[in-house]
Structure 1
Amino acid sequence: MTDRDVFLPVGAQPTLDQLVDQAVAAEELGYDRAWFPESWGRDAVTALATAAERTDRIGLGTSIANVYSRSPALLGQTAATLQEASDGRFRLGLGPSGPLVVENWHGMEFGNPLRRTREAIEIARQVVDGETVTYDGEYFSLDGFRLRCDPPEPAPPIDTAGLGPKAVELAGRFADGWHAVNYTRGGIADRLEDLRRGVELGDRDRDDLRVTLSVSCCALEDGERARELVAQHIAFYIGGMGTFYRDNLARQGYDELAHEIHDAWQRGERDYATDRVRAELRDQMGAAGTPDEACMQLERFESIDGVDAIYISFPRGAEPDEIHETMTAMAP
């Protein structure tokens, strides 16, 4: 049975208290896990620690902490501490982000994101396992680091996000899970093959990995409003968030459409970009409409072979009451 998680809308909540209230509500509604993003607003660690204190059962995790703004040893320490704070409910989600964020916001050279992600996973895993870390990599060389406290039991799993074939292969080879973002229902199949190839290269068991697929969701009594919010959200990511999401969509067989949406958005023709999403992509990438309509659409994603969990994300234009309405309507 596919788990149903929720991706908390950090930007939509005016206070930390209201953000954590969303995690409390998700627990009450029966969601399996609440994922906290980290971009340019509140840091995920403080929010997660607060949520761990105020919840009892729901799983918690980062989706996604980037591997440039914290050292791998600190990522391991953070994961160990949040696993302790949550009584064993934490998963560490890592990813490289992109050059816009890493270079412009954090002042770091982007370099080779795949290699850096691999090294971060390997070092963080040694830390949470309580090992004395000895590591000689391309980016990091460590000797003698070891947790002063007892390591968490069990050690928290470490997931990674990835869009391209090699990034997804890396997840299968080295991580405990893969976070799939910006995929159509049909387009994820090729990347699941990349994941399986990584599993084979790492001589691992596919059943030990958790594949979590993000789906943009909005379920409102005003079904047209819900559908419009999701179309605008998808258009924003393809058109306004650099080129990674555009190129990821192009790899799924939508090359011409992906560039059309991106270029229109960049020219300021955002209504046109949204129109193209509405006509061609919304029902392939999201679940939107009235509560009954949105839930039926979500079941199509949950039926994809190889997907272990769906996390419900909310369109960026949704108001807090619309987020709560959607979370309630689409609860497990």
Structure 2
Amino acid sequence: MMRLDVQPWGESLAELVDAARAAEAAGAGVAWAPELHRSAPVTAAAIAAGTARIGVGTGIALAFARSAMLTALTAADLDELSGGRFRLGLGTGVGRLNQDWHEVPCDRPVARLRDTVAIVRAVQAGGDPIAHTGVRSISVRGWRRPYPPARATTPIYLAAVGPGLVRLAGEIADGWLSHELCPPRHLRTRIWPALAVGIDRQGRDRGRFDVVAAACCSVAADPGVARRRAANVVGFYASVRSYADMFAADGFGEVSAAASRALRAGRPADSLGDLVPGAMVDAYAIAGTPAQCAARIAEYAPLADAVKLSPPSYGLEAEEVRDAQKSLLELVGSMP
């Protein structure tokens, strides 16, 4: 049976943890913590401390903005804090943000991410020395972590869009995470062909690899309200140059170009929903009545092990996000 995961929202960390508890009570499988306006590990720590059963993951933590050793130690600490419930989700981020926001290189992202995972696993495995040479390297002697781990290794999930990174996820990770706009047709035609190459390259069991799709899920009695709430999410991604080819291939290249121009002209990235037609919202988000949303979620079942659902939040007042999240969690609790 496909798992329903949640990316909880809160105006404060306390409210976010309350939402994670509500997701746990609704039967959600994992609460994922994103990294944009908050630190993903800190958010994951708050969720881990405030819940008892639900899985906890970073969805995602930036892989290059931290040293791989610090990432490994953070993952081990979070797994201990959560009692073995933690999943380390890593992503490259886009080049401009790595360089301009975090002052770190992002060249050769496939090799750099491969090295990151190798170093994380080497640190968690222990031993002396710890050494790895590549685009990212480590050389540690005379150090050993003195605390018993919750588990021997932390499951690692890689977020990936392009075929090279998707193949890498299938080859070396325990699971794959999508970005928020990943409809079933993309899973079928773009993701699974590349994942299968990576999984089969190592002779791995596909049944032991966790495929986590993601979707903005906007639930409302009025489908028009649901689409309006989700439009800014689609508009945000439409303005990001990294996704331009995806939108163009789906026939929405002109909308993507318009969103990019509006962003360069000074429009806030979370306020571009008015540029997004309803058909584009329906193409990339789950938006509608509870019955309509449940039917859309069910379309992922043959292709994914889980769907990470997030309420619409971009450009909305806090009270409206709360209402949207309440409706989403009610939907999760009502589904088998």
Q: Same fold (TM over 0.5)?
A: yes
**Is 1:264–2:258 an aligned residue pair?**
yes
- Cα pair 1:238 1:245 within 8 Å, conserved: yes
2:324 maps to which of 292, 306, 322: 322
- Cα pair 1:125 1:158 within 8 Å, conserved: no
TM-score by length of 2: 0.88
Equivalent-residue separation in structure 2 for 1:285 and 1:319 (angstroms): 19
Q: What SS does the corresponding residue of 1:312 show, helix, strand or coil?
A: strand
Q: Deviations over 1:213-272 (max 9, x none)?
A: 001101112331112222332122112xx211222344xx42xx3421111113339466
**Is 1:186–2:180 an aligned residue pair?**
no
Report the equivalent of 1:208: 208
Equivalent-residue separation in structure 2 for 1:147 and 1:329 (angstroms): 43
Report the equivalent of 1:141: 138
Aligned pairs for 1:64-75 (under 5 A) are 64-75=60-71
- Cα pair 2:6 2:32 within 8 Å, conserved: yes
Q: Deviations over 1:181-239 (max 9, x none)?
A: 22232122232111110012223222221010001101112331112222332122112
2:52 maps to which of 46, 50, 56: 56
Aligned pairs for 1:111-260 (under 5 A) are 111-132=107-128, 133-144=130-141, 145-181=143-179, 182-189=181-188, 190-239=190-239, 242-250=240-248, 253-254=249-250, 257-260=251-254
Equivalent-residue separation in structure 1 for 2:11 and 2:235 (angstroms): 24
- Cα pair 1:314 1:323 within 8 Å, conserved: yes
Moved over 6 A (4+): none
1:271/1:160 Cα in 2 relative to 1: closer, same or farther (>3 Å)? closer
- Cα pair 1:247 1:258 within 8 Å, conserved: no
Report the equivalent of 1:23: 20
Equivalent-residue separation in structure 2 for 1:128 and 1:265 (angstroms): 43
Q: Percent identity?
A: 32
Equivalent-residue separation in structure 2 for 1:89 and 1:74 (angstroms): 19
Equivalent-residue separation in structure 1 for 2:127 and 2:149 (angstroms): 9
Equivalent-residue separation in structure 1 for 2:273 and 2:76 (angstroms): 46
TM-score by length of 1: 0.89
Equivalent-residue separation in structure 2 for 1:271 and 1:98 (angstroms): 22
- Cα pair 1:65 1:95 within 8 Å, conserved: yes
Equivalent-residue separation in structure 2 for 1:235 and 1:42 (angstroms): 21
The size of the alignment, in residue pairs, is 317
- Cα pair 2:214 2:307 within 8 Å, conserved: yes
Equivalent-residue separation in structure 2 for 1:272 and 1:77 (angstroms): 43
Deviation at 1:143, TM superposition (A): 3.2
Equivalent-residue separation in structure 2 for 1:49 and 1:214 (angstroms): 22
What do you get for the CA RMSD once the two structures are aligned?
1.9
Deviation at 1:85, TM superposition (A): 0.5
Report the equivalent of 1:97: 93
- Cα pair 2:41 2:61 within 8 Å, conserved: no
Deviation at 1:125, TM superposition (A): 1.4
Equivalent-residue separation in structure 2 for 1:138 and 1:227 (angstroms): 43
**Is 1:286–2:289 an aligned residue pair?**
no
Equivalent-residue separation in structure 2 for 1:173 and 1:121 (angstroms): 11
Gaps of 5+ in 1: none
Equivalent-residue separation in structure 1 for 2:309 and 2:12 (angstroms): 21
The residue type paired with residue 120 of structure 1 is T
- Cα pair 1:159 1:179 within 8 Å, conserved: yes
Equivalent-residue separation in structure 2 for 1:173 and 1:266 (angstroms): 34
